[in-house]
Chain A
Amino acid sequence: MNQRLPINSDSKSEHLLHRLYALQQQCLHISPEAIRQVANEFNLPVSQITAVVAFYAFFYQQPCGRYHILFSNCTSCGYLADGENLLLQFSQHLDVAPGKTRLDGLVSLGETSCIGLCDHGAAMLINGLPIIELDANRIEQIAQLIITETPLTNWPTEWFQVNDIVHKQGLMLSENFTVGSSLKRALASSADDLLAIIEESALCGRGGAGFNTAKKWRICQQASGSAHYVVCNADEGEPGTFKDRLLLRSHVEAMFEGMALCAYIIGAEKGFIYLRGEYRYLLPHLQAVLDQYRQLGLLGNHICGDVAFNFDIEIIVGAGAYICGEESALIESLEGKPGIPRVRPPFPVTHGYLGQPTVVNNVETFIAAAQIVLHGSDWFRSVGTEQSTGSKILSVSGDCQLPGIYEYPFGISVQQVLHDCEAKEVQAVQIGGPAGRLIGKEDFNRRISFEDLSTGGSLLIFGKHRDLLTINRNFAHFFAHESCGFCTPCRVGTKLLKNNLDKIADGRGTQQDVVEIKQLSDLIQRHSHCGLGHTAANHMLDSLQHFPQAIEDLTQQVFAPPFALDEAIKDACRITHRDDAVARLK
């Protein structure tokens, strides 16, 4: 059927998301005419293009400014992280309202979910490029450069300098990886022997869910289809996670080889890297290494002279949608559609990209696989626990002296991490990002592992001075913004939860609100369609359980209206020019 036709990257020179990005760059937005034009070019229904443009946060249907600013709103790299409102300051300097483009078209301002720069202070994206270590002073300087329309190339380069801040190297990060070493070793063995090595290592997925990697690859290998695909999930959308950023910058060779050996095992000729739009600035580096691999005969046709082994990798850049980290939504996006999670089962490993058997793994998982082939499964199992073998790379940020990357053997206690990153007076830790778990002091002796506290890599630290309700509110806003909108409990429920917390923060919290929040959280968690909804209320339920005081203190009233009365009649007052005492309700 026509509207279901996926964008087959083999027959089309350009991916739909890339075409739309190019148009957006050119015209600073995607107009209805542009949508009709693209629909023509791709021979797709106008409605599909419209739906795609409307789905992704980085596509705009109204013109952006020549300088387009997106502040991160993450609890670690966000504009409120240091206690002052940097977005508001920026907005005042340049006289541009949040969410709007200034009338002269010079500048537009918005906010976006975590951009993975939590170890670099408050951060923003300006025309897609990251600026780090924001403070009042830098905001003022940025405003000046914009007013004088100074090209970004003339801005201080150190502002854009994203570094690898590695505080602790473990099993994987301490290895020096030689280009081609893992792949050459792999091709000397049979696919079955290789799979046996991965199996013995007991490697499990590093992206969060922790599924056994060898098992996934074996199911895919055995699934029948006209083609098999390898997909690397580099969407890294979970707030507080930035370890894939490091891996993509400095260890991407091993990742390509991990993908290639997966292809060798499952019989794939085509691989994709789904790179989050927030990391677009990593693209030149990734392309350069890809080219190097092709030149060395490590990718492309007849890899390492093996006439039967052809495999190449294409990078697809996302456009601002957390849900596209969910593997089936990711595949929908690869197919040029909105990122709406599919019904699972069938799982991607049998029915993935274009309905064909597809392995989706995290960046770190592919790197681990390449290292295991090189050093053996015993090397890998030498650290970790019985059920969680090997090491885990953590992104540590929040209230600590040494935010950055830490690699630990699985089984490390939260306490040890807090000690190493010099976190003092810690009130709570969010493990695994907003979708993970919020724990308090009594649980700091728990261990990071699949069997205890599982994490895709995010560890957010909240000091004594933090108001936890503000944190919950931040997370609630995140999920309401990122819900794909497909199913009722998540679409409406996350918004209700957000409204409820806003109401409490506004001083209108009642005892009934706590009951409501609990019921709503249970409903979203239990009845949603996908993992986003299943985890969207974790932080709230944990907060109610471990830190009931934080919310109870603010919900003492017996009744308060669901909306702020004066706010609700504001427009009417303005229109009727009424500002007298009688026109105010409070």
Chain B
Amino acid sequence: MPRAYTPKIVTANDLLEGDVIYLTADDRWSRRMAEAELITDEAHAQLRLLDAERQTDRVVGAYLADAQAGESGPEPTHFREDFRRRGPSNYRHGKQETAPQPRA
């Protein structure tokens, strides 16, 4: 029996700012993980990753990260993605200093 596929999101860093960004279902890049497209199908995940990687003038280092469905959208399953989503713990910098702005 095939193993259940762990849902994924496509994440990367913004080319100009370096900020962590997430690919949404309607093909935007959002700074909020909750807006990411939660992908439950492996073939679709690969296609979305290719979509992301093609945008070489906008994003850096796109990859698939494990995620799970939460109340208000996808949530991380691993602490690394949780830190990427939140920002550093020693200062309220990065995503913690500005209200999350969806990106065009």
Determine if chain A interacts with chain B.
no
